Amino acid sequence: MKILHTSDWHLGKLFHAVNLLEDQRHVLGQLIAMVEDEKPDAVVVAGDVYDRAVPSAEAVDLLDWVLTEIVDRLATPTILIAGNHDSPDRLQFGSTLLKKNGLHVAGRVHGDLTPVRVGKDGNEGLLCSVPFLEPAMVREYLNDSSITTHEAALRAITRRFRDMVPVGAPSVLIAHAYVAGGSPSDSERTLSVGGADQVPADCFDGFSYAALGHLHRPQNVSSPRVRYSGSLLKYSRSEAAVAKSVSLAEIGADGACVVRELSLVPRRDVREIQGLLADIESGACADGNSDDYLYIKLLDTTMPVNAMSRLRVRFPNAVDVNVSTAIAATTGATQGKSLRSLDDITLFDTFMKAATDHELTAEERKLVAATIETTASAEVAS
C-alpha cells in the first residue's frame, strides 16, 4: 500500500499581508503531478486544510480544484481531517455524500468510527482518521468524564481504532497533534497553554505508520513511522532554511514501512539575507530569485532612511527589514536599567559606542551637548 502524506496546507493564508493562493496553487500542481507519477493508493491531508475556520471563497475554490483533480480525474481516494485551524463542522459538510466518490472527510469525531479500506488485492490497508481533538469534544462523544487532556482524548480514540485493526495488518493512523519531542517552528498556533497539548509518540503504537499534521517542519518523531510531512510552504521566518516536501509511505503486507520525501519547489522561496544596504541595493547579495519573500538584515551602523522602499526596487517581495545587531544590542543593553538614571550625553555616548564601536570625541561631545541644549530650550520656548 502506497500513501501520499501531506498536511498543513493553510489555504488562503496571508503571509506578511501577501495572499499566498497563487503560491499554494503552484505547489498543489506539483502534488497532482506526483499523484499521476506515483499512483498512490490514497492521498492523506493531515489537517489545517484551510488557514481559517471561515475560509475565503478563493481558498474554497482552490481546494475544490485540487480535490477534483486528485479524486475525480485521477481516481485516487483522498482523506482529509480537520486541524486546529479548520472548522470541524464546516469541513464535515457533505462527508456522507462525498465518501461515495472517494473523498473521506473527518471534520469531527461522530457516529461510528470506521477505518477506510484502500489498496489493491493482496496489498490492502486500513486508514484511521482522527481529526484534531478538543478534550471536551471527546469527553462528550464517549460520555467519559475522565477525559480532560489531549493525551487522554487521543488515547481513547486511537484505542478504538486499534481494536478494529487486525494485529500486524497494514494500517495508517492520521492525526493532527503535537507529539512530544517534535520540533516546532513559528507558524503553528498553540493547541493549549503550557505544554498540556503534547502527546507521547507511543499513542501511535500498533499502527504501521502515523501520518501527522500540526508541526510545519517535515520530521520523524522517535521513529521513521511516526512522521510529520510538514506544511505545503514556508509560513514563517523560522522555516527559511527548511525545504518543504510531501512524504510517500510504502507499507508492505507485513506492516513494514519505508518513507521517501518528494520535494515541493515553491513559486517564491522564503529566504534571509544580510549585508550593508548599499551592497544589497547594488546586487552584491543577489543569489537566488529577486522575487523571493525576503527577510533582510541590514548591517549598517546607522539607520538608513526609507530602507524598505529602497530595497523593494530590487526585491519587490521583501517582507521584513531588520537593523544591525549593533543597534539592536544597544536597545538590549539598556533594557532593565532606568534610562532616566543616565544624563543625555552619557546615554548618547553609550548608544554610539554600541552602534559604531567608537566613543564620542571631545569635539563630538561638544556638538551633541550644544544640540541637546538648543533642542531643550526650543521645547521650553514652545
CB of 188 to Mn ion, least distance (A): 5
Q: Which three cell numbers stand for residue 210?
A: 502515523
Q: Which residues contact 57 (CB under 8 A, 6 or more apart)?
A: none
CB of 152 to Mn ion, least distance (A): 23
Q: Which three cell numbers stand for residue 341?
A: 538614571
How far apart are the C-alpha atoms of 137 and 129, rounded to whole Å?
16
How far apart are the C-alpha atoms of 275 and 281, rounded to whole Å?
10
CB of 217 to Mn ion, least distance (A): 11
User: From the DSSP assignment, how many helices (H) and strands (E) are in the chain?
Assistant: 11, 19
CB of 171 to Mn ion, least distance (A): 24
Give the nearer residue to Mn ion in terms of CB position, either 71 or 177: 177
CB of 10 to Mn ion, least distance (A): 6
Burial class (CB in 10 A: 0-12, 13-18, 19+), 236: middle
Give the nearer residue to Mn ion in terms of CB position, either 192 or 290: 192
Burial class (CB in 10 A: 0-12, 13-18, 19+), 343: exposed
Give the nearer residue to Mn ion in terms of CB position, either 170 or 213: 213
Give the nearer residue to Mn ion in terms of CB position, either 8 or 292: 8
Residue nearest to Mn ion (CB): 48
Is the CB of residue 30 less than 8 Å from the CB of residue 246? Answer: no
**Residue 192, helix vs strand vs coil:** coil
How far apart are the C-alpha atoms of 322 and 311, rounded to whole Å?
12
Sites of contact with Mn ion (CB under 5 A): 8, 48
Q: Strand 257-263 relative to strand 245-251: parallel, antiparallel, unpaired?
A: antiparallel
CB of 319 to Mn ion, least distance (A): 19
CB of 185 to Mn ion, least distance (A): 10
Give the nearer residue to Mn ion in terms of CB position, either 20 or 298: 20
Give the nearer residue to Mn ion in terms of CB position, either 48 or 292: 48
> Would you say how long the chain is, in residues?
382
Give the nearer residue to Mn ion in terms of CB position, either 108 or 176: 176
Name the CA radius of gyration of the chain, rounded.
Answer: 27
